Amino acid sequence: MARQTDPHKRSPALANYDEHVNITVSDLDQVVEFLTTALPDFKVRHREEEKDREWAHVGSDSTYVALTCWNEPSAEARHGLNHIGLVVDDVKAVQQRLQDADYPKGFANSDIVEHPHRLRLYYLDREHNEYEFVQYLSDKPEERNSYVG
């Protein structure tokens, strides 16, 4: 049997990894049921209702699918892929490389988004696919996956 390894304990050769995808769906409950049926180790990590949308993160401590369901269709409510989340060791270095190469910022033209336990940055590729680059500042799953802060 293959030995399971913790993706947060990374070797330098595997320093970066994909952590999540973020998609827009029309029926949040249906997709949550599908994912937790297909992958019984996946749980609802967090679910929240906001004024204009409901969203959930479904997965494990180290990986998840982010789901968004908009209450009213809008320009932001395109159906399908919103972004791909990639874990990196140094989000400021990623920002500098992408700025130097003149890639456009994503997520409302934001700079680094700070949280007590992580730093996030959004950029678009030349085809306007959005990527979220995340640098974790903690090894503790409960801090890394905190939705408060």
Cα gap 132→29, rounded to integer Å:
25
Specify the residue for token string 């990374």: 10
pLDDT of residue 75: 56
Cα gap 54→3, rounded to integer Å:
37
Task: DSSP letter for 14, please.
Answer: G
Cα gap 104→94, rounded to integer Å:
13
pLDDT one-digit tens code per residue, 37-64? 988 999 999 999 999 899 999 999 999 9
Q: Over the Cα atoms of the chain, what is R_g?
A: 16
- Provide mean pLDDT across the span 66-76: 80
Give yes or no for residue 124 having a pLDDT over 70: yes
**CATH 3.10.180.10 placement within the chain:** 18-78
The structure's pTM equals 0.73
Domain 18-78: give its CATH superfamily. Answer: 2,3-Dihydroxybiphenyl 1,2-Dioxygenase, domain 1 (3.10.180.10)
Cβ atoms within 10 A of the Cβ of 2, count? 4
Cβ atoms within 10 A of the Cβ of 142, count? 9
Cα gap 98→46, rounded to integer Å:
31
pLDDT one-digit tens code per residue, 2-33? 444 444 444 444 578 889 999 999 899 999 99
